[in-house]
């Protein structure tokens, strides 16, 4: 029964990925799906370090980028007919080199977790990013290097000219990578990674070298980050230093964290949300990085277990059937909260916009008019007041929906 349920989740995951381009078939949406696919594998690999292994890395992009560079080099070799194989296997090339880089760096960085590990990861990240501008032959300097995926032998007639074809290649690898990363959590090495995260000292007293346990997780994370890098190379057909520098390392940390570190599905949620924000929001506002930062801050402060954690919080109420009691209080707090957020965004955009008028969710706002400022301000303040007013009710509803009545009947 449990197995059937689990299997149906996996099938659902695969089916959703496969049919997405049928519903959203524009060039833009397929390009977003490709980015999501890459981000999902990358964020899941990051969670093997932080969520499952307790290793805070500021340099995980190294394995992503390194895998990506080698993948592009392989594309170039295919183009010049030095090697001959289907580009379907390019992500695997990325994975192998991500793994090799992780074996090398992990051999000295996994001795300790905590601050020591974090500092080494930061240092290695900077070092590799800096050398990418020094070893121009390999990394291509600021311009990066580029290949052409269409030179490879066709795969059953598919020549990989279109992005949607790459999307199906990506789905294949995302699915395989997700399955294997999940299975890893169900093995002794995966469980011991959790144990070492919780208590490295005690792990040593049940026969395990904490260092070696970390090293294994680290290598696995490098392998899958490399696969993600290989997918990146296939999708964009070029790669630059940016893929292995601190910006990319920071972004994957945000994805995993916002999604929720404690859950296997968390990084997938985070990858989807951040990719959407990245691609859609950036069309509407050049301040989207600011909003992303605020969202990260709010997540850390109010949803320490991420979006996945927020969803899972409702498990008890769901099982008990009391979740209906939460609908109205959620609405009463949620709607004004949304208004607070929108007014805040409107104010920020008004102070930022250079044109005379600002089109904002159907409203025309003029930053030159004091009345417009006042109006937005009043809506915002009023909504904030409404949120504060309705919060106690939400809290009560939450408590009554989640408290299991004791025998004494308290």
Of 63 and 184, which CB lies nearer to another protein in the complex structure? 184
What phi and psi, each to the nearest 5 degrees, are found at residue 158? -85, 125
Minimum separation from the CB atom of position 224 to another protein (A):
13
Q: How far is the CB of 189 from another protein (least distance, A)?
A: 4
We find the least distance from the C-beta atom of residue 407 to another protein, in angstroms, to be 16
Rounded alpha-carbon distances, angstroms, from residue 35 to 91, 208, 250: 14, 38, 16
Contacts of 270 (CB under 8 A, 6+ apart): 43, 254, 255, 256, 257, 258, 259, 260, 306, 307
Q: Which is nearer to another protein, 175 or 180 (CB)?
A: 180
Closest CA to 276 of 10, 14, 32: 32
Q: Taking Cα atoms as reference points, which of 189, 225, 190, 208 lies closest to residue 102?
A: 225
- Residue closer to another protein, measured from CB, 188 or 377: 188
| Least distance CB 201 / another protein (angstroms) | 7
CB of 392 to another protein, least distance (A): 27
What tokens were used for 259?
A: 């999604």
What's the closest the beta carbon of residue 191 comes to another protein, in angstroms? Answer: 6
Q: Which CB, 194 or 285, lies closer to another protein?
A: 194
Strands (E), 82-178: 145-146
Smallest gap, in angstroms, from Cβ of residue 152 to another protein? 32
- The CB-of-393 to another protein minimum distance in angstroms stands at 28
Degrees (nearest 5) of the Cα angle 269, 223, 218?
85
Q: Which residues bind another protein (CB under 8 A)?
A: 183-184, 186-192, 194-195, 197-199, 201-209, 212-213, 216, 220, 262
Distances (CA, A) of 6 to 13, 93, 163, 323, 338: 11, 30, 31, 23, 35
Q: Which one, 152 or 200, has the nearer CB to another protein?
A: 200
* Nearest to another protein of 49, 192 (CB atom): 192
Query: What's the longest Cα–Cα distance across the chain?
Result: 79
Residue 166 or 216 having the CB closest to another protein = 216
Residue among 2 and 361 whose Cβ is closer to another protein = 2
Which uninterrupted H or E stretch holds 169?
Answer: helix 163-185
Residue placing its CB nearer to another protein in the complex, 194 or 325: 194
How far apart, in whole angstroms, are the C-alpha atoms of residue 319 and residue 97? Answer: 45
For 208, the token pair is 């395990």
* Structure tokens that stand for 88 in this block: 């379907």
DSSP secondary structure of 326-368: HHHHHHHHHHHHHHHHHHHHHHHHHHH--SS-EEETTEEE-TT
Determine how many CB atoms are found less than 10 A away from the CB of residue 114: 11
Quick one: 204 or 242, whose CB is closer to another protein?
204
- Please, which residues bridge with residue 271 across strands? none
Token pair of 147 as six digits: 């290949």
Query: What's the min distance (Å) between Cβ of 171 and another protein?
Result: 24
Give the integer Cα–Cα distance in Å for 384 and 390: 10
Question: Whole-number minimum distance, CB 217 to another protein, in Å?
Answer: 9
């Amino acid at each position: 029964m449990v197995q059937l349920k689990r299997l149906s989740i996996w099938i659902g995951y695969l089916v959703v990925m496969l049919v997405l381009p049928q519903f959203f078939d524009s060039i833009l949406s397929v390009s977003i799906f490709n980015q999501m696919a890459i981000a999902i594998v990358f964020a899941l690999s990051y969670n093997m370090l932080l969520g499952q292994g307790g290793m805070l890395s500021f340099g995980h992009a190294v394995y992503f980028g390194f895998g990506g560079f080698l993948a592009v080099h392989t594309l170039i070799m295919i183009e010049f007919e030095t090697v001959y194989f289907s580009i379907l296997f390019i992500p695997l090339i990325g994975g192998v080199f991500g793994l090799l880089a992780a074996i090398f760096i992990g051999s000295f960085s996994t001795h300790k977790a905590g601050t020591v590990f974090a500092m080494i990861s930061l240092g290695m990240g900077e070092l590799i990013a800096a050398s990418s501008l020094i070893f121009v032959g390999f990394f291509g300097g600021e311009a990066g290097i580029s290949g052409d995926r269409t030179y490879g032998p066709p795969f059953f007639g598919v020549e990989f000219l279109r992005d949607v074809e790459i999307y199906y290649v990506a789905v294949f690898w995302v699915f395989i990578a997700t399955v294997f990363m999940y299975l890893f959590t169900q093995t002794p090495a995966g469980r011991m990674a959790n144990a070492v995260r919780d208590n490295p000292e005690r792990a040593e007293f049940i026969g395990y070298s904490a260092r070696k346990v970390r090293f294994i997780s680290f290598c696995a994370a490098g392998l899958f980050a490399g696969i993600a890098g290989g997918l990146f190379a296939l999708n964009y057909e070029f790669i630059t230093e940016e893929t292995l520098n601190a910006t990319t390392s920071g972004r994957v940390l945000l994805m995993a964290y916002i999604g929720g570190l404690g859950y296997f599905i968390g990084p997938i949620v985070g990858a989807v949300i951040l990719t959407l924000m990245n691609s859609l929001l950036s069309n509407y506002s050049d301040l989207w990085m600011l909003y992303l930062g605020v969202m990260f801050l709010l997540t850390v402060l109010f949803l320490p277990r991420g979006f996945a954690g927020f969803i899972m919080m409702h498990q008890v109420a769901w099982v008990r059937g009391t979740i209906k009691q939460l609908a109205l209080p959620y609405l009463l707090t949620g709607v004004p909260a949304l208004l607070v957020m929108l007014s805040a965004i409107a104010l920020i955009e008004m102070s930022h916009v250079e044109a005379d008028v600002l089109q904002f969710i159907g409203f025309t706002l003029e930053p030159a008019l004091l009345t417009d400022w006042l109006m937005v301000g009043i809506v915002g303040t009023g909504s904030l007041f409404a949120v504060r007013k309705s919060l106690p009710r939400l809290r009560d509803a939450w408590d009554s929906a989640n408290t299991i009545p004791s025998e004494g009947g308290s």
